[in-house]
Amino acid sequence: MLGWRRVRFPLGVCLFLSLLFLPDWHGPVAMLYGRLFFVALGGVLAFGLFERWPRRLPRWLARWALQVAAVALAMPVSAAVVYLVTSYRDPVPFWLDADRFEGFVGMAGFGILVAPWMAIAALLRQISGHARNQALAFDLERSELERKALDARLRLLQAQVEPHFLFNTLANVRELVDAGSPKASPVLGSLIAYLRAAVPRLHEPVATLEQELELVRAYLEVMQMRMPDRLQFSVRADDDALPLHCPPMMLLTLVENAVRHGIDPSEEGGTIEVSVSAKGDRCHAEVRDTGVGLQNGGGGPGTGLSNLRERLLLSFRDDARLRLDPVAPHGVRAELEFPARRGMA
């Protein structure tokens, strides 16, 4: 109730008023300051008291009006109390002493004129402060809701990746089984081992590039067992890039796209090269295949790539770039550039 922020303004006004009283003041200067400060503190106490009490007011009475009226009433009361206390040893009461009574009237009169306006100014500062705090609280709540909505959207997109990837892979295994290939069992065993490691990561909000490359290598090994004469691959990465964070399934989506739209449609097959590097505050990933290429319908922006673009936008806003370019004589190069982060919001 008597915090420094609330008291300093009334005390400053008292110092200013003391300059007006000093020319006609005949007593000690400390006495003048003491009386003015006491009156000011009386107004502050009245303002703070009726700020919370009574807890309920009649509908016709506004609390701010009660506070202003209480501060105005506190001025003559406080002035009377301080004059009684400081002159109780005098043989003549202060109201019978012309000089003291004049001082009392002047102090109480100035208080009645000035204190209500000071109370109104304090109320306006409170209203402004409450409005700012409320605006900050609303901004914080809105940011939290936006973050939760973003997380929900990212999880939804990840949930869309799971069946897209799993169904494609299981379809490849089914082809081997239908063809009676002896490779069906080893491929299925490799796929089961791969899924045991991969599926738990599908639900994680972020992944490191090292984890992504492990999944990419395992996926390509499964695909190579399915078509050993048509698929060759290599995976390279800078050591500095391995601990960097990225959206889950980011590289795997590009690699799966290269297999499905580049290598699979090609009679000769081809090679897939995956490389990741970090330079400064940027990370660069590239998936290059020598499949059928864009001109023959390969490497197009299917569901996986569309999903990936949206996940990149949600994770990095406009600070990530995904490009698909043809490779001579045939093939596609998918280039991905994004901020190098060791943690993602």
- 254-255-261 Cα angle (round to 5): 85
Q: Picking from 111-120, 157-166, 220-229, which range would have the lowest pLDDT averaged per residue?
A: 157-166
Nearest-angstrom CA–CA distance, 294 and 330: 8
Nearest-angstrom CA–CA distance, 44 and 119: 9
Q: Do 94 and 87 contact (CB within 8 A), yes or no?
A: yes
Q: Is the pLDDT of residue 189 over 60?
A: yes
Q: Is the pLDDT of residue 343 over 80?
A: no
Nearest-angstrom CA–CA distance, 233 and 278: 21
Nearest-angstrom CA–CA distance, 248 and 162: 11
Nearest-angstrom CA–CA distance, 168 and 256: 9
Tens-place pLDDT, residues 105-144: 888 888 888 888 888 888 888 788 777 888 887 777 776 7
Identify the band that residue 287 occupies on the pLDDT scale cut at 50, 70 and 90: very high
Q: Long-range contacts made by residues 222-228, C-beta under 8 angstroms, separation at least 24?
A: 222/169, 222/187, 222/190, 222/191, 222/194, 223/172, 223/259, 223/263, 225/183, 225/186, 225/187, 225/190, 226/172, 226/173, 226/175, 226/176, 226/183, 226/187, 227/263, 227/269
Q: Is the pLDDT of residue 200 over 70?
A: no
Q: According to the model, what pLDDT value does residue 22 have?
A: 67
Q: Is the pLDDT of residue 182 over 70?
A: yes
For the residues of 58-96, what is the DSSP string, one character each? -TT--HHHHHHHHHHHHHHHHHHHHHHHHTTTSSS-GGG
The average pLDDT across 302-323 equals: 81
- For the chain, list the domains and their CATH numbers: 4-140 (no CATH), 181-339 (3.30.565.10)
Q: What residue type is 292 in one-letter code?
A: V
Tens-place pLDDT, residues 68-96: 898 889 889 988 988 888 887 888 888 88
Tens-place pLDDT, residues 310-319: 878 877 888 8
Q: Which percentage of the chain shows pLDDT scores above 70?
A: 77
CB atoms inside a 10 Å sphere around CB 290:
21
Nearest-angstrom CA–CA distance, 172 and 62: 76
Q: According to the model, what pLDDT value does residue 345 have?
A: 47
Q: Which residue has the tokens 């701010």?
A: 64
Q: According to the model, what pLDDT value does residue 338 have?
A: 92
pTM: 0.52
Give first-to-last CA distance, the chain, whole Å: 41
- How confident is the prediction for the chain on average, in pLDDT? 79
Identify the band that residue 25 occupies on the pLDDT scale cut at 50, 70 and 90: low
Q: According to the model, what pLDDT value does residue 298 have?
A: 47
Q: According to the model, what pLDDT value does residue 299 have?
A: 44
